[in-house]
Amino acid sequence: MTDKKQDTKATGVSAMWGGRFNAGPSAVMEAINASISFDKKLYAQDIAGSKAHATMLATQGIITKDDALTIIAGLDQIKTEIETDVFEFKVSLEDIHMNVEARLREIIGDAAGRLHTGRSRNDQVATDLKLWVRDALDTLDGDIAALQAALLDQAEIHAASVMPGFTHMQTAQPVTLGHHLLAYVEMLGRDRSRVQDARARMNENPLGAAALAGTSFPIDRDLTSKALGFDRPSANSLDAVSDRDFAMEYMAAGAILSVHLSRLAEEIVLWCSDQFGYLRLSDEFSTGSSIMPQKRNPDAAELVRAKTGRVIGALNSLMIVMKGLPMTYGKDMQDDKEPVFEVADTLALSLVAMTGMMQGAVFNKERMHGDAGKGFSTATDLADWLVQTLAMPFRDAHHVTGALVKMAEDKGVGLENLTLDDMQSVEAGITHAIFDVLGVDNSVASRTSYGGTSPINVANSINNARARFL
């Protein structure tokens, strides 16, 4: 019982904000209030924002240039201390902002107290997180591009490798593996577009909005915006401190990306199975079984598939935090950082893993080619031939083809194994030329419409994709 009482005993009043209080927070309050365990990730952005703010204050004559230089030197020392693991992060100081400010005071004395002129932790944390997310978006764009490059390399090797195309997981029409992989290149291209759009939209500077209403000091928000690489200052101080759209949009783009990665991972899992036998992953991205020595499991793909739930869950977490908040800042918003950080870590790991899998993937062209002709996959080619050669309405051609498929199914053969007499018993106008379109190689070669699967198209699409994306 004594220990429990001790756990909730009030601690000392914070020098940072405790002037209005007679007693400090309980240990429980200190624990729930502190964010330093995770927001220390923002140290570089926090220090960059403070240096820009100090420079602006001196330029505007709000503090002296000597104080600004002293502050900047102290901040540089703190950054070095953090990066060399000698900085002591203190839970009692709550967050990265107060930890840095307290250490700055230890290093340079009273001049440190002038740094916070004309700003609040509200605009400070919004600025820090924006800078961090902006960096994360840049990293994400590069990681997606690396996966696109790996897919394009495989697509180039397999531009003419024929495989089954599926709808409803049933054999539909032959396609090339290169064409199939290019579909993911396009998906990832849209992901990068969302990433780039989000970066452009978020690039407004909250610093100078202060707590919520702006400040009476003659600050220059354009100066700090330029120093920090923002396009402009945010236009409304209330919105500036309460906006977390940029974090949600980052995670939303990440969630859609994760869905795309999961779809590719699912196909990898299927293709690695004995039932398909299309793909062999390298040893680096495969595992064995503790009991079944023959097993070769595509665990990396399965884990990428699973991590989609973590990203979607993190997005939901922040959206639920934000959905009921009035203007402007509430401490609820302290919970914005952990889901953002989790998404960044998860996406980085998933993309590196998927890129590695694609770089080392070995495809079984013979197995894919053999399966491409199964399931009457050239039936549409037959119907198209009837339309093009016999001028038959497509619906009539569809009916004739269906009757021929049933005949082949009853005989237990493929369409290409029916005799000409068999075919003419259903449609007298069919000639021996029909057999030119029933092979899977002929089928894919004929799909020359823009965006189609013909090897010539695929080769051109690869070149275009390299120009567009890499």
The long-range contacts involving 170-175, CB below 8 angstroms and separated by at least 24 positions, are 170/375, 171/371, 171/374, 171/375, 171/376, 171/377, 172/375, 172/377, 173/377, 173/378, 173/380, 173/381, 173/443, 174/372, 174/373, 174/377, 174/378, 174/440, 174/443, 174/444, 174/453, 175/444, 175/447, 175/453
Residue with tokens 């996406």: 347
**Residue 128 near residue 96 (C-beta atoms within 8 A):** yes
Phi, psi of 166 (to 5 degrees): -120, 145
Rounded to an integer, what distance in angstroms lies between the CA atom of residue 320 and that of residue 181?
36
CB 93 within 8 A of CB 16: yes
Name, in order, each residue with C-beta under 8 angstroms of 398's C-beta and a sequence gap of 6 or more.
383
- What tokens were used for 372? 């491409």
In the DSSP assignment, the letter for residue 415 is: G
398 is an active site residue: no
Amino acid letter, 225: S
Which residue out of 168, 216, 290, 449 is catalytically annotated?
168
CB–CB of 40/96 below 8 Å? yes
177: left (phi over 0), alpha (psi -120 to 50) or beta: alpha
Catalytic (active site) residue 461: no
**Could you say which of 120, 289, 399, 446 is catalytic?**
289
Instruction: State the catalytic residues.
Output: 168, 289
